[in-house]
């Protein structure tokens, strides 16, 4: 990660411990039959894969995709699903909706609304890797989160990306951003 000025905010071991704690909190919430785990593509995939392996066996897996960021560090367009789960996996079911980050809340608000109102889910429980309430633009809260950041960090790694890059980092980094909101390129004298 030599391209941008950054610092590590959570290493692999810390992420694993945070997921263990999240799974412990979620297990009682998911008691009962017919739970469908639904990650938001693509950011939640790494987080969701690691989380569901910590949950009891028998979950059905399906997916939803709602893209809002484009090439920016802030949402650029309205949240609208463009890939939706199989209706039989949602109608009348308890859905565990998972995303990498809850910041503005627009993506998860639309995903929850869509699952409940348009697909007929009986219940939607929201779990996120990162809760970042400082950027909340709509009224929504996660039922459970692994980590909460009260400062407005631009995070990459472990599913979070910048313009599609860095999702596959095994740790979480904060990129330093400039006045324009974009990541600051790293120079030889950078120490961030």
* Rounded Cα gap, residues 157 and 174, in angstroms: 9
Please give the C-alpha separations between residue 28 and each of 16, 20, 117, in angstroms, as whole numbers: 20, 14, 25
Q: Which residues are within 8 A (CB) of 163 and not within 5 positions of it... i.e. 6 or more apart?
A: 71
Distance from the Cα of residue 43 to its chain's centroid = 6
Q: Which residue from 126, 121, 118, 38 is spatially nearest to 80, judged by alpha carbons?
A: 118
Asked whether the beta carbons of 65 and 83 are under 8 A apart, the reply is: yes
Greatest CA separation for the chain? 57
Angle at 150 between CA 148 and CA 152, to 5 degrees: 110
Q: Are strands 172-175 and 154-156 parallel, antiparallel or unpaired?
A: antiparallel
Out of 62, 103, 143, 152, the active site residue is: 103
User: Is 161 assigned a catalytic role?
Assistant: no
Q: Which residues are catalytic?
A: 103
């Amino acid at each position: 990660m030599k391209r941008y000025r950054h610092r590590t905010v959570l290493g692999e071991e810390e992420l694993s411990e945070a997921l263990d704690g999240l799974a412990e909190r979620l297990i009682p919430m998911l008691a009962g039959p017919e739970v469908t785990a639904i990650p938001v593509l693509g950011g939640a995939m790494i987080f969701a894969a690691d989380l569901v392996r910590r949950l009891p066996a028998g979950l059905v897996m399906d997916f939803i995709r709602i893209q809002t960021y484009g090439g920016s560090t802030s949402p650029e367009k309205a949240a609208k699903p463009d890939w939706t789960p199989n209706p039989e996996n949602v109608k009348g079911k308890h859905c565990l909706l998972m995303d990498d980050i809850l910041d503005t809340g627009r993506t998860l608000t639309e995903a929850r609304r869509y699952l409940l109102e348009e697909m007929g889910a009986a219940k939607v429980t929201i779990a996120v890797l990162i809760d970042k309430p400082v950027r909340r633009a709509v009224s929504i809260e996660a039922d459970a989160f692994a980590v909460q950041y009260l400062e407005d960090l631009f995070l990459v790694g472990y599913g979070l990306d910048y313009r599609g890059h860095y999702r596959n980092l095994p740790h979480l980094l904060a990129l330093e951003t400039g006045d324009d909101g974009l990541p600051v390129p790293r120079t030889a004298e950078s120490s961030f």
